[in-house]
Chains A and B, each alone.
Chain A
Amino acid sequence: MTRLLACTVTIAVLAASPASASVDLTISRSHVATQLGDTFAFATTIANTGHTPVSGLVAHLNVVSLTAGVYVDPEDWSSERTQYVDPIRPGGAATQRWKVKAVNGGDFAVYVVALPGRGGVAAGRPLAVSPPLAVHATEHRTLDTAGALPVVLLVPALLAVLWLWLTMRRRRLGLSRA
């Protein structure tokens, strides 16, 4: 019975995702204050705290708005949100560098998840997640109606006046002395 229990535990341990059992994620920064449109960088480190090599990991970045009602499209923040991690030996670590642009104003959380890539994610297994990077992006309005109105109105108006003048001039030519 004990042997059966030991085998079960061993199997359970062996069958557990390497990511969940022996992977630890850390992040290089805890908070960023930036302006709308600016790019900031950070790094994550995946450490193999287990006794067996870990391979096939996929690191994936996500962005969440901490303010209700603010729509975030993570693809707008970073075009390279997925990195495929090389195998990590026991006790070793791998670092991923990320560049993110703040395309919304407000408060956000940026985090990275490590998933077992090849062979698929085992159903129900917890994922390894980094601590969140708190981002505060200050908004500044860069486009205003008043600045656009002169151009919007004047350019077509000037062209229309020019066209009218040329048309009148041509008509005068066509109706000259018989």
Chain B
Amino acid sequence: MAWRVVARQELRDLWLAGRGLPLMLAFTVLLSATTYLTATNQSLNFLEQHEAVSLTLQVAVAVGALLALLVAADAFSGERERGTLESLLLSPARRSELALGKLLAALSTWLAAFALACPYLWVLGHGVGATADAVVVGAVVGTVIAVALTGLGTVVSALARSNRLSLSVCLLVLLALFAPTQFPTGAKEGWFGELLQRVNPITAGNHYIGNVLVDGHGWSRDAAWLLSPLAAAVLFAFLAVAAAPRFLTLRGSGPG
């Protein structure tokens, strides 16, 4: 099956010959710094340790999803710029299989980031019994968000005329999604504030993580917050594999 061949080659290009490892190295340096600072805090109390676990997990989800998005944003527009897209389009593989293979390879960035974050979650959380919850909720929420963003990146990449345009659009969308996490508490209150929080898959996912890890809510209590991440994942994965390939051309669309 062509998608397996494409995914395998993309994984080789990403991890054996490409940017995958240096990106993960930078990610683990970041996690190491934050974890060490947390561990040396003498007056860290119980609640703050739960919050540290939650924060570390949210950083892992954010950075892992970001990296997956960046790799996906390069999927087709990068090939276009390097002049290798035509050879790929000349193969008998269906366009949708090309897209699926590239999407899966990009998703591996999130999976690697999450796997690397697990030891840090264990260090921060095992003393307060938060590790298992953190790993499970991170795996679920993080993967759903990563699928959504990877799908988005693949769609944009298929349509964008240049790699610069693809990366710019994806980063802009990501910033727009993460911006509400920095809003003051007052701005998040009220029906409109809560609606924005729920509709945005990033804020909804973060909210769910915080509720489970910090507030100790049960898994199903806030499950409604996972609706928008799930919907985004399904929508963008479908668009990436089924719809965007129909518009995949040698030159792309839009301004260069």
Contacts and interface: CB of A to CB of B under 8 A. Distances in A.
Dominant secondary structure at the A interface: helix
A159 B57 CA distance: 20
Dominant secondary structure at the B interface: helix
Interface stretch (B44-52, B176-184, B224-232): B44-52
Nearest to B119: A151
Contacts of A104: 45-46
A147 B45 contact: no
A107 B44 CA distance: 17
B124 A37 contact: no
Contacts of A66: none
A142 B46 contact: yes
A132 to B, nearest CB: 22
Interface stretch (A19-27, A118-126, A160-168): A160-168
A143 interface: yes
Contacts of A152: 32, 35-36, 39, 123
B29 A148 contact: no
Given A36-B45, A151-B35, A163 B21 contact: yes
B127 A142 contact: yes
Contacts of A149: 36, 39
Nearest to B29: A156
Size category of the binding interface on chain B: 20 to 34
B123 A159 contact: no
A166 B25 contact: no
A143 B45 contact: no
Given A143-B38, A159-B25, 8 more contacts: A101-B216, A105-B45, A144-B39, A145-B36, A147-B123, A148-B39, A151-B119, A163-B25
Contacts of A145: 36, 39-40
A155 B32 CA distance: 8
B173 to A, nearest CB: 29
A151 B32 CA distance: 8
Interface of B: 16-17, 21-22, 24-25, 28-29, 31-32, 35-36, 38-40, 44-47, 49, 116, 119-120, 122-124, 127-128, 215-216
A2 interface: no
B188 to A, nearest CB: 15
A153 interface: yes
Contacts of B216: 101
Nearest to A158: B28
Q: Which of B24, B35, B47, B216 has the most CB of A within 10 A?
A: B47
A142 B21 contact: no
Interface of A: 36-37, 76, 79, 101-105, 141-145, 147-149, 151-153, 155-156, 159-160, 162-163, 166, 170
25 contacts: A36-B46, A37-B128, A76-B47, A79-B215, A104-B45, A104-B46, A141-B127, A142-B49, A143-B39, A143-B44, A144-B39, A145-B36, A145-B40, A148-B124, A151-B32, A151-B35, A151-B122, A152-B36, A153-B32, A155-B28, A155-B31, A156-B29, A159-B28, A163-B22, A166-B21
B112 to A, nearest CB: 10
Contacts of A101: 47, 216
Nearest to B52: A143
A147 B124 CA distance: 9
Q: Which of A159, A163, A166 has the most CB of B within 10 A?
A: A159
**Which 6 A-B residue pairs are closest in the complex by CB-CB distance?**
A142-B127, A148-B39, A103-B47, A37-B46, A163-B21, A152-B32
